[in-house]
Amino acid sequence: MKGVVFDILRDMIEEKFGLEGWNQLLEKAGSHGMYLSSESYDDSEMVALLGAASEMTGQDIPNLLKTFGEYMVTEFSVRFPVFFDNCDGLIDFLKSVDQIVHGEVLKFYPDANLPSFSYEEGVSTLTMIYKSDRKLCHLAEGLINGSARHFNETVTIEQPKCMHHGDEACHLVITVGGADD
């Protein structure tokens, strides 16, 4: 996993718990806590940090991943605004993730281990079919929710298929709008 993801996790933890909270998390995780944005780190490092964060907050890991995904979008929109500025809204942005966003990431970080997405459009839904050995579909849900917030849109997300339940891929069925519109 790229160091930039660890940097954003650190920012989120420090924002919520201060530097002391980040240091406590590192101690619980048995981590050194030094990450370079462009370097790759073993996934076990993130697993240890999330486990420690779960202990500290009492929140389960799927919910932590969703919260982290939402936070990541805020950071990504500041660090990489071009990906958001060139889209006409949430669905346009989500459909650009696999080809455009991940394509650009691979130009800078050719060794990045990115998930893949394919898409199925329904009458009122977009289904993102997520595949990754990491099985971070809960992070993807948070990223979708954060992206919806960025574009001032409301969404509901259902996941009728999930790799955590033995399916080959996670199906994130996204409905934009609803009662709040």
pLDDT digits (tens, 9 = 90+) for 86-125: 899 999 999 988 777 877 777 877 877 788 899 999 888 9
The answer to whether residue 172 sits within a structural domain is: yes
Give yes or no for residue 181 having a pLDDT over 90: no
Examine the domain organization and report whether 88 and 137 are in the same domain. Answer: yes
One domain, residues 36 and 11: yes
Residue 97's pLDDT is: 87
Q: Specify whether 41 is located in the same domain as 73.
A: no
User: Of the candidates 59, 82, 105, which is a domain's last residue?
Assistant: 59
The residue segments making up the domain with residue 144 are: 67-176
Residue 180 has pLDDT above 60, yes or no: no
- Residue 15: inside a domain, yes or no? yes
Are 154 and 128 members of one domain? yes
Here the CATH number for the domain that contains residue 158 is: 3.90.1520.10
Domain closes at, from 59, 75, 97: 59
Strands (E), 17-168: 116-121, 125-131, 155-161
Do 94 and 150 share a domain, yes or no?
A: yes
What pLDDT does 178 receive?
A: 57
Tokens of 86: 């060139």
Residue 181 lies in a domain: no
CA distance 26 to 33: 6
* Domain termination site, one of 59, 78, 104: 59
Burial (CB count <10 Å: 0-12, 13-18, 19+), residue 123: exposed
Answer whether residue 179 shows pLDDT above 60.
no
Residue 102 host element (H or E): helix 102-108
Do 16 and 80 lie in one domain? The reply is no
Helical ranges in 31-101 per DSSP H:
43-57, 61-79, 82-85, 90-96
Residues 166 and 142 in one domain: yes
- Structural domain tally of the chain? 2
Residue 164 confidence class, pLDDT cut points 50, 70, 90: very high
Tell me how far apart the alpha carbons of residues 66 and 102 are, in angstroms, rounded to a whole number: 20
Say if residue 153 is in the same domain as residue 72: yes
Q: Which of 83, 90, 115 minimizes the C-alpha distance to 75?
A: 83
